[in-house]
Homo-oligomer: A and B are copies of this chain.
């Protein structure tokens, strides 16, 4: 294994999306354990909580280093700190929400994001009727201001909560504004340069997955 100092995280090879998702899951469990005052945990216990195997947990972590003690397990505090570091959660991320409809407004009002370091700094909408109104203390801004605003505020992540038909156009604008990550709630497959990170939350797709499971289970 490649040697590294405690403050650097070596990315030896491309990390699979499934691995990153599990790391995120592990972190949530660790924070839970931390709250309950548990100091140490084994890969087995972590696996049981997340519906995976201890080998999977150890392999996932092994991509980034060796964080455990043989015979003992992992320090909950240390491992969660490491995972936060790996996931890039040591800093605050600036998030904008585009689309102040039902979903966009619900997201803007959901304080779980800011609690985890994702700070919502602006809400945009293309509809002049919505512009100027406030959502959870944020005044809805015209979408036409996005490019200019972005120059000053340099938001990190854009949450797209717009109708499917508008999604691609808005995504293009987002990319043009220099934003490098998109969380897409619109049921539309976005075409973006591969330097842009995109995650989609597609509720229709999840429901159809359940429909399939119920039909063919």
A binding-site residues for B, Cβ under 8 Å: 9, 11, 15, 17, 20-21, 23-25, 27-29, 49-51, 86-89, 93, 95, 102-103, 105-107, 109-110, 112-113, 116-118, 156-157, 180-183, 187, 189, 191, 195, 197, 199, 201-217
Selected A-B contacts with CB under 8 Å, 23 pairs: A9-B216, A17-B209, A21-B209, A23-B212, A24-B202, A86-B212, A88-B214, A88-B215, A93-B211, A105-B106, A113-B204, A113-B207, A116-B207, A118-B207, A156-B214, A157-B207, A157-B210, A180-B217, A182-B210, A195-B217, A197-B209, A197-B213, A199-B206
Contacts of A17 in B (CB 8 A): 209
Instruction: Kindly list chain B residues whose C-beta atoms are within 8 Å of the C-beta of A203.
Output: 107, 112-113, 183, 201
If A11-B216, A88-B212, A213-B181 touch, whether A204 touches B21 (CB-CB below 8 Å) is no
Question: Do A25 and B113 form a contact, CB below 8 Å, given A183-B210, A197-B210?
Answer: no
- One of B15, B156, B208, B214 near A180 (C-beta < 8 A): B214
Q: Which residues of B contact A20 (CB under 8 A)?
A: 208-209, 212
Q: Which residues of B contact A206 (CB under 8 A)?
A: 183, 199, 201
Q: Are B189 and A25 in contact (CB under 8 A)?
A: yes
